């Protein structure tokens, strides 16, 4: 019989997966009730904070260490999950069905209800074994990460409640790996979503007007696509680079015009940009504005997102938490690869206030299905992850 059959930790995980904490308009109350039940089972205190109002709870389960005055460890996860297209799923997305191969199908099985429950499972095992830890641990469950964390972690890190936690280091999510290697993330690119509002000469579609919005858009688009091609070439020609090491640019929205034979007075274009760690933000913004001038002017730039430059977490001898994490993975025999995260996680808010953070989801030999249809996690992979955390959590906590 497989190790996952009738396993208590698998059943707890599946119960959490069945809570449809799905966008838009997530109701977090069932998650909070579920986590209160977990805290009682663990014999640990729980606090629920509302830095962004009553509908955006932040849940903190705390295990006090022997040296509570020392900076603490955060084990972070988010309660929310992205929407689903029910017709594209072979198992209902919030059923947590488990098939004969032990695949648990549910939205959030990889991103990232698994990690939140693996933290608690590891702590349950450690406490049962009478383990005591030097530093205090705060297991944090936040809302709204999937829509940018603006009413979740971004607000919480600025609150007095967070300051009182005295955080010294944070673990958060990573991404599954298709091979034996585990992916470990120490930094993130800065997300910029840039809207160009382009004004130009309007008139009849039969004439050749000067300085139309379309001509100006063409100029901006060419410049951005040339830059994109340059980054594409860098990625293709240098095998040491991954997607997180280059700047990505994608043309995502275009609006304008009322009729096929009328040249419109304005057009809008939105580009999603993820700025690599080596990009000088001021110089990059100056370049965008310069292109607007070269295109003929009359172009307003609106930043729908303009994340600041956030320093990478040190992965060298200067960071004792990193050394402890690395030592634990070595002792476990895990092969790890350190990367810049291609998307955005709540770690960016933690790093922005100067706290080192590492992204790690202990899932290897697993297809990457976050935000995809039929998202699943193998039960045996989930249980192995608990074993890894039983080693990693004490390692970083006893620094």
Residue 21's SS3 state is coil
Residues in the chain: 399
- The Cα 180–Cα 37 span in angstroms is 35
Q: Which residues contact 179 (CB under 8 A, 6 or more apart)?
A: 364, 365
Annotated catalytic, 145? Answer: yes
- The Cα 354–Cα 104 span in angstroms is 37
Q: H or E element: which one contains 168?
A: strand 167-172
Angle between helices 29-42 and 8-17 (to 10 degrees): 160
Instruction: For residue 185, give both structure tokens.
Output: 């993330």
> Own/partner pairs for 326-330, CB < 8 Å, 24+ apart?
327/395, 328/391, 328/392, 328/395, 328/396, 329/182, 329/184, 329/388, 329/392
Are the beta carbons of 380 and 4 closer than 8 angstroms?
yes
Catalytic residue among 80, 172, 245, 375: 80
Annotated catalytic, 272? Answer: no
Catalytic residue among 9, 111, 145, 375: 145
Residues serving a catalytic function are 80, 145
């Amino acid at each position: 019989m497989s190790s996952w059959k009738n396993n208590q930790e698998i059943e707890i995980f599946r119960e959490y997966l069945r809570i449809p904490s799905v966008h838009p308009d997530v109701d977090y109350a069932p998650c909070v009730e579920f986590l209160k039940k977990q805290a009682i089972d663990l014999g640990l205190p729980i606090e629920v904070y509302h830095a962004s109002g009553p509908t955006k709870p932040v849940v903190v389960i705390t295990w006090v260490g022997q040296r509570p005055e020392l900076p603490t460890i955060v084990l972070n996860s988010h309660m929310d999950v992205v929407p689903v297209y029910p017709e594209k799923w072979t198992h209902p997305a919030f059923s947590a069905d488990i098939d004969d191969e032990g695949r648990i199908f549910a939205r959030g099985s990889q991103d990232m209800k698994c990690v939140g429950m693996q933290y608690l499972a590891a702590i349950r095992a450690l406490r049962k074994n009478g383990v005591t830890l030097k530093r205090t641990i705060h297991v944090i469950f936040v809302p709204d990460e999937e829509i940018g964390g603006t009413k979740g972690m971004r607000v919480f890190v600025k609150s007095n409640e967070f300051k009182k936690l005295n955080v010294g280091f944070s673990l958060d999510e990573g991404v599954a790996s298709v091979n034996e290697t585990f992916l470990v993330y120490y930094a993130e690119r800065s997300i910029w979503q840039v809207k160009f509002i382009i004004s130009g000469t309007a008139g009849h579609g039969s004439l050749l007007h000067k300085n139309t919005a379309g001509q100006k858009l063409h100029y901006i688009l060419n410049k951005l696509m040339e830059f994109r091609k340059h980054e594409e070439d860098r990625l293709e020609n240098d095998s040491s680079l991954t997607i997180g090491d280059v700047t990505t640019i994608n043309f995502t929205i275009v609006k304008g015009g009322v009729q096929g034979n009328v040249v419109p007075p304005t057009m809008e274009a939105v580009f999603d940009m993820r700025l690599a760690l080596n990009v000088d933000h001021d110089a990059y913004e100056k370049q965008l504005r310069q292109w607007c001038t070269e295109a003929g002017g009359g172009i307003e730039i609106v930043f729908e997102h303009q994340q600041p430059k956030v320093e990478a977490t040190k992965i060298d001898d200067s960071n004792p938490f990193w050394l402890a994490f690395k030592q634990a993975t070595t002792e476990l025999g895990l092969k790890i690869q350190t990367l810049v995260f291609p998307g955005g996680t709540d770690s960016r808010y933690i790093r922005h206030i100067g706290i080192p953070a590492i992204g790690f989801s202990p899932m290897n030999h697993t297809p990457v299905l976050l935000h995809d249809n039929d998202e699943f996690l193998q039960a045996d992979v989930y249980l192995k992850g608990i074993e890894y955390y039983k080693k990693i959590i004490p390692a970083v906590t006893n620094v």
